[in-house]
Amino acid sequence: MRIATWNVNSITARLPRLLAWLESSGTDVLCVQETKCSEEQFPSGQLKELGYESAVHATGRWNGVALLSRVGLEDVVKGLPGGPEYEGVSEPRAVSAVCGPVRLWSVYVPNGREVGHEHFAYKLRWFEALGAAVREDAAGSRPFAVLGDYNVAPTDDDVWDRSLFDGATHVTPEERAALAALRAEGLTDVVPRPLKYDRPFTYWDYRELGFPKNRGMRIDLVYGNEPFATAVKDSYVDREERKGKGASDHAPVVVDLDL
C-alpha cells in the first residue's frame, strides 16, 4: 500500500500536475494540504474519474485539507476535535478517515507567523488538541498515522542553515517540544534520515532560487503508531515533483507499507 502527503499550495493551480502524479505514482491514499478552495470548488469529479474518493474539509481561499483514496473512505471526521479557534474561526486544518486497513489524518498545522504572535500561541494550542484527538488511535492495534505539513523542522539538520533561523518560527524549543509531546502519544517519524540523499527536505521557498540551491526545510512529516511503523518498507521525498513550471513549493512525501 502506498500512502503519501503533499502540500499542493492550491489544488486549482496544481490540478494538472496532481492528476498526472496520481496516475504515475501508484499512490493509494494521498493526504493533501492547502487546497485553497471551497468544498464546492474541489475537483472531486476529476479525481473520481481516476478512481479516487475524496474527503474534503475546506472553506475558501485559505488552508483546506483533503484525503484522496482508491482503497475506501469511511468514518470521515472533518476538523480537529477540541481544536482551538483563531480570531473566532475554526479553520479547516484537519480531516481523518479509515482508508482500507489504516486510519489516517491529513493535517495542516498553523504556521505560527512570528514568535510571540497570537498565531504562535494558537499553533501550540493546536498541537495540544491534535495530541488529545489522536491518543486513542495512536495506542490502538490498527495501523494509524498523522501526515501533513507540520510547519516544524524536528531537528537542526532539517533546515538548510540553522543560523539563519535564530528567533524565527519552525525551529523554536516550544514548537519542537510540542512535536515531541505528539510523538509521546505513541507516534514515531517513519521517514528516516538519510534517505537516498543527504538532508531530505520537503519544502523550498519560491524566492531566491531556494530549490536550485537546496535551501529547504523538512516540515512535511509522517508520524505513525507502532503497527503502521513496523509495516513501512520504503519511503522517499519525490523531489522531481518540485521541479519545473507550476510546481508547489512542497514535494510529496511517499511511504510504502506491507499490509
Beta-carbon contacts of residue 196 (< 8 Å; ≥ 6 apart):
236
Q: Which of 163, 191, 192, 157 lies closest to 176, judged by CA?
A: 157
Has 258 been labeled as part of a binding site? no
Has 205 been labeled as part of a binding site? no
Has 7 been labeled as part of a binding site? yes
Active site residues: 108, 149, 250
At residue 256, what are phi and psi to the nearest 5 degrees?
Answer: -105, 135
Whether the Cβ atoms of residue 34 and residue 10 lie closer than 8 Å to each other: yes
- Exposure letters 18-54 (e unless 16+ CB within 10 A, then b): bbebbeeeebbbbbbbbbbbebebbbbeebeeeebbb
Has 234 been labeled as part of a binding site? no
* Spatial separation of the C-alpha atoms in residues 115 and 129, rounded to whole Å: 20
Instruction: Give me 134's grid cell.
Output: 489522536
**Binding positions:** 7, 34, 149, 151, 249-250
**Binding positions for Mg(2+):** 7, 34, 149, 151, 249-250
